[in-house]
Chain A
Amino acid sequence: MREKILSIIEKNSRIGINELAVMLGEDELAVANEIAAMEEEGVICGYHTLIDWEKTNIETVSALIEVTVTLQRGQGFDNIAERIYQYPEVNSVYLISGGYDLLVNLEGKSLKEVSSFVSNKLSTLDSVLSTATHFVLKKYKDHGTILGKKRIDEREKFVL
């Protein structure tokens, strides 16, 4: 049941428990309990809204920053990541295999704000060896959703 609940609410977290139970052919109380349990266990970490900021008047800038770090005695990747993810402007931090170590996704109000974060806060950390900042020019798809385009049903209205 978990997997099915998750696959539905991952796409639509606003769905009612009753409707969810009907769609899955499960008992309403059982579904409610399962969701509560997953919230408790941290399987469900939050309910967010996917926003296409392009369509608003609010200016935002996002950047992907490749970070190469150097590990010191008693300090692993987790510690360095923690130092970085505490900043509220940091949207996500991933440990990456390959050419660099951490991928940091940053959301800022302006180019200036992002660059100042990189030069003043990120690069100055002792363990950070180098950074490469990539500004996002356009988002086509985010969290599995294609942005900007509304789907049009092109089927004939009647097909036997």
Chain B
Amino acid sequence: MRNPLSDRTVALKPSGIRKFFDVVSEMPDAISLGVGEPDFDTPWHIRDEGIYSLEKGKTFYTSNAGLMELRKEICNYLNRKYELRYEPKSQVLITVGGSEAIDMALRAMINPGDEVIIPQPSYVSYEPCAILANATPVILDLKAENEFRLTAKELEAAITDKTKVVILPFPNNPTGAIMEKEDLEAIAKVIIENDIYVLSDEIYAELTYTSKGHVSIASIPGMLERTILINGFSKAFAMTGWRLGYACGPTEIIAQMTKIHQFAIMCAPTTSQYAAIEALKNGDDDVAQMCESYNQRRRYLLNVFEKMGLPCFEPFGAFYVFPCIKEFGMTSDEFALKFLEEEKVAVVPGTAFGDSGEGFLRISYAYSMDELKEAIGRLERFVAKLREAK
């Protein structure tokens, strides 16, 4: 029989921590700091709107780009939060999570051989999506000494004549790094000079713990027309299971993305779209409350790491801290596996997010304070043991 498989798909590297998943799944009593989704339930009034829409029989497809009312609310929201101006009719596409938007954007913009710059450590899907879109991924290793921010110099060095798109994954999963206005202005200059586009994944935008809050690169002068902004409801409104995100950008790009979306997906889930309208209209207080809780836990973790003498830069975004474990002379994988075996706590090795994550761990604080304290107590014990053994 002929080989039924696509060579390109087979060649895609599977997620690096598969074996780790397997070990954890055989340890039902293990506790975890490995989860990349909110621990909060979706606020009740949002769930209630979803239920209400079902009761009213809103069970049909929506238009391909999504409910117009939702697109309008998204434009209002982006305007009030980040001073962005998008046209609901032609510049917004509702997608099945931010993930779909990443895929669609790359497929809409890439010609074979175009280079996509992917700063790492970062979320695992950019590279495979770029490859599936026929792009050549160019990995840019972010550095701990820059607090894992992207600098203009690093970006400039990675750009070639073939560069078409740079991915901007901030606030960042797994490092928690953010890009402040000045950082964005510096790279925007390079982007404009080199005539390239930005795919800005701002799914964690609401979870920014500086007084100024998140700044979108699309709000920097000259960048709106060069940016595909990706955001969604998963992290901000604790709606991961609803699978709802969106992309905003220049009309011509959104039109092509909508075309692919129409053929591949049809439309995002209708129930989720109705719930999301409620989230945007009346969800600000919920977001503020969740954000305050995350921030309290973030401060708690940073304080504990400082006491433990575990080096960790202060991350101002998402719900992750990214401590350095190089002093123990183990790889991230080895450390995480040993920690799991000895203390039954699952954390994610930094290398799951790119080679530049070596020597680091991703620790999620999407957990209650009680859970965090238990797990961190075990980490303290484990670290003390390792240091004693040295």
Contact = CB atoms under 8 A, between A and B. Distances in A.
Interface of A: 4, 7-8, 19, 22-25, 153, 155-160
A155 B41 CA distance: 11
B201 to A, nearest CB: 14
A153 to B, nearest CB: 7
Given A4-B292, A153-B39, A159 B34 contact: yes
Contacts of A153: 39, 371
Contacts of A19: 300
A24 B34 CA distance: 24
Interface string B291-306: 0100111011001000
11 contacts: A19-B300, A23-B296, A24-B296, A153-B39, A155-B35, A156-B35, A157-B24, A157-B30, A157-B346, A158-B21, A158-B348
A8 B30 contact: no
Nearest to A22: B303
Contacts of A7: 292
Contact size range, B: 20 to 34
B123 interface: yes
B315 to A, nearest CB: 14
A7 B295 CA distance: 14
A8 B292 CA distance: 10
B36 A159 contact: yes
B300 A22 contact: yes
Given A4-B292, A153-B39, A158 B300 contact: no
Given A158-B17, A160-B124, A22 B299 contact: yes
B30 A23 contact: no
A155 B346 contact: no
Contact of B296 (A8, A156, A157, A159): A8
Contacts of A24: 296, 299
B331 interface: no
B141 interface: no
Contact of B20 (A22, A23, A158): A158
A158 B353 CA distance: 13
B352 interface: yes
Contacts of A25: 295, 299
Given A22-B303, A23-B300, A159 B37 contact: yes
A22 B305 CA distance: 12
A20 to B, nearest CB: 9
Nearest to B307: A22
Interface string B42-55: 00000000000000
Given A23-B299, A158-B17, 15 more contacts: A22-B303, A23-B297, A23-B300, A23-B369, A24-B296, A24-B299, A153-B39, A155-B35, A155-B37, A157-B24, A158-B32, A158-B34, A158-B346, A158-B348, A160-B173
Nearest to B36: A159
A157 B39 CA distance: 12
B59 interface: no
Contacts of B299: 22-25
Q: Of residues B297, B299, B346, which shows the largest number of chain A Cβ atoms within 10 Å of its Cβ?
A: B299
A24 B173 CA distance: 23
Contact of B39 (A22, A155, A156, A158): A155
